[in-house]
A = this chain, B = another copy of it.
């Protein structure tokens, strides 16, 4: 948490600092406006002379490995979140650091979950200085209330890769939990008793961290195949009893929605895509793992089946629904960044067309293009949307930072971005004059689908033209806002926030698009 003397207004009108956690940052300049001029991060050159010729990099314990990596005060330690709420490694790392009396570490997870609640004590005692990474749930609440020493920095999956590639974040030690690995450090997430899917979130860490530890509970003789993580990047390998609970990788609901309102939203979204001419042979889409998104996938499947067409590819976290489409032949490829159930893991292991991707291939904005912008339609969620189509995905209307960005910002670059959202939640309108936190600029958000109507971004005159004779309830966003306010009895109340900044939201190019301010709890 920090009270800044000076803030500057960025291109979406938010006041943001020019320095965060001791590093200079660039305020958001607009989509595609910030062009980097520097060079990528260059990690130290290693030499085979310093690694065992027989390829055996095994050490006896995670503690031994952390010590061998030179763990010391102020270092940045990274982990990945492919086990989601079933991660068993991050807590162990900081238990060891605490035992060794290490202080002021920066934890750089690709995301944190409620299972990481035990780390609050280390944030309190100074073992961990601050977290840069998504803070889902309790750690987000802790940060929101201003209890973290440094500022939280939230990045999209692509932004995290960008930050490591560009040297915005230098990882001292990466600890990569791998469901299968060999003694050389080649590793994958698709085989073994705790298989969790791809390991792409750890790719940047493996490539750029100064020291890399692979921990596994399924050691195989060289070569571990496939090797999504290259042993050539790995310093040490540790065999543990269990590295994660793969049954906890499940995200969102795993069943299509039964709510009549949400089913209606799903159907309207699918119809919209169809009337907009998006659903045709060879199209591509990405949908999330929520009940509404799953239902949209079901509609898409039915359209493909009826018309005997197929999608070229489907991107995203996979679960049993995309897998069913692949196995029925309704989609040619799944390009998968994380699996949301064990059926997704099985498919990735068995189907050669179910491919492991990474934030580098799919999302990194500081690449020579990425996959995200090639997708015909992406269907995403949001906690709030404003009348300029700016959207929030990290904080609630009470100001609490409770969600990560995930791939959300990166996906906004799809050819058509649709947010199917309820018009209100807990009698609080979801469409506001201004969102609590801007995570994505309105110019990239094309369509809002609610149970009472669909708003098309005025910038998308092409879509407005295509839908002009539609029987779908096309409205302006102001009309939707007015309806919501009428039903809820007025505009949403603003959260009670302090002046202090507790977290920053990075845009895909590393610039600062917004900040999160301290929530003043009810009792204060």
Q: Which A residues are closer than 8 A to B by beta carbons?
A: 32-55, 57, 165-166, 184-185, 212, 221-223, 225, 227, 230-235, 282, 312-313, 333, 335, 352-353, 355, 360-361, 364-371, 373-374, 413, 415, 509
Contact A355 B48 (CB under 8 A): no
A19 → chain B closest CB, angstroms: 21
What are 20 residue pairs bridging A and B, where the CB atoms are less than 8 Å apart in the complex?
A32-B49, A38-B44, A40-B45, A46-B366, A46-B368, A47-B366, A47-B509, A48-B373, A48-B413, A54-B373, A55-B374, A221-B312, A223-B335, A225-B353, A231-B368, A232-B360, A232-B361, A232-B367, A232-B370, A233-B368
**Chain B residues with CB under 8 A of A221:** 282, 312
**Distance, CA A353 to CA B224, complexed state (A):** 11
Contact A36 B40 (CB under 8 A): no
Chain B: CB-nearest residue to A211: B368
Given A35-B47, A45-B165, A369 contacting B232 (CB threshold 8 A)? yes
**Chain B residues with CB under 8 A of A55:** 369, 371, 373-374
A123 → chain B closest CB, angstroms: 32
Interface residues of A, dominant DSSP:
loop
Contact B43 A39 (CB under 8 A): yes
**Chain B residues with CB under 8 A of A53:** 369, 373-374, 413, 415
**Chain B residues with CB under 8 A of A35:** 47, 49-50
**Distance, CA A225 to CA B43, complexed state (A):** 30
Chain B: CB-nearest residue to A31: B49
**Distance, CA A335 to CA B227, complexed state (A):** 12
**Chain B residues with CB under 8 A of A369:** 48, 51-53, 55, 57, 184-185, 231-232
**Distance, CA A160 to CA B222, complexed state (A):** 25
A173 → chain B closest CB, angstroms: 14
**Chain B residues with CB under 8 A of A222:** 312-313, 374
**Distance, CA A148 to CA B42, complexed state (A):** 34
**Distance, CA A236 to CA B41, complexed state (A):** 24
A-B pairs with lowest CB-CB distance, top 3: A32-B49, A42-B42, A39-B42
**Distance, CA A231 to CA B46, complexed state (A):** 27
**Chain B residues with CB under 8 A of A54:** 373-374, 415
Contact A225 B333 (CB under 8 A): yes
**Distance, CA A367 to CA B225, complexed state (A):** 19
Given A360-B232, A373-B54, A45 contacting B366 (CB threshold 8 A)? yes
A39-B44, A48-B366, A53-B415 are known contacts; what are 16 more A-B pairs with Cβ within 8 Å? Answer: A40-B45, A45-B165, A45-B166, A48-B367, A48-B368, A49-B365, A53-B369, A53-B373, A184-B369, A221-B312, A222-B313, A225-B353, A230-B361, A231-B369, A233-B367, A352-B352
**Chain B residues with CB under 8 A of A353:** 225
**Chain B residues with CB under 8 A of A49:** 32-33, 35, 365, 509
**Chain B residues with CB under 8 A of A166:** 45
Chain B: CB-nearest residue to A355: B225
**Chain B residues with CB under 8 A of A355:** 223, 225
* Residue of A165, A233, A355, A361 with most partner-chain B CB within 10 A: A361
Complex partner residue of A223 from B40, B52, B313, B360, CB under 8 angstroms: B313
**Distance, CA A36 to CA B222, complexed state (A):** 27
Chain B: CB-nearest residue to A54: B374
**Chain B residues with CB under 8 A of A185:** 368-369
Complex partner residue of A46 from B48, B57, B333, B367, CB under 8 angstroms: B367
Chain B: CB-nearest residue to A162: B45
**Distance, CA A16 to CA B461, complexed state (A):** 69
**Distance, CA A352 to CA B349, complexed state (A):** 12
**Chain B residues with CB under 8 A of A57:** 368-369
**Distance, CA A225 to CA B57, complexed state (A):** 32
Complex partner residue of A47 from B41, B234, B365, CB under 8 angstroms: B365
Contact B48 A184 (CB under 8 A): no
**Chain B residues with CB under 8 A of A165:** 45
Chain B: CB-nearest residue to A36: B45
Chain B: CB-nearest residue to A372: B48
**Chain B residues with CB under 8 A of A232:** 360-361, 364, 367-370
**Chain B residues with CB under 8 A of A374:** 53-55, 184, 222
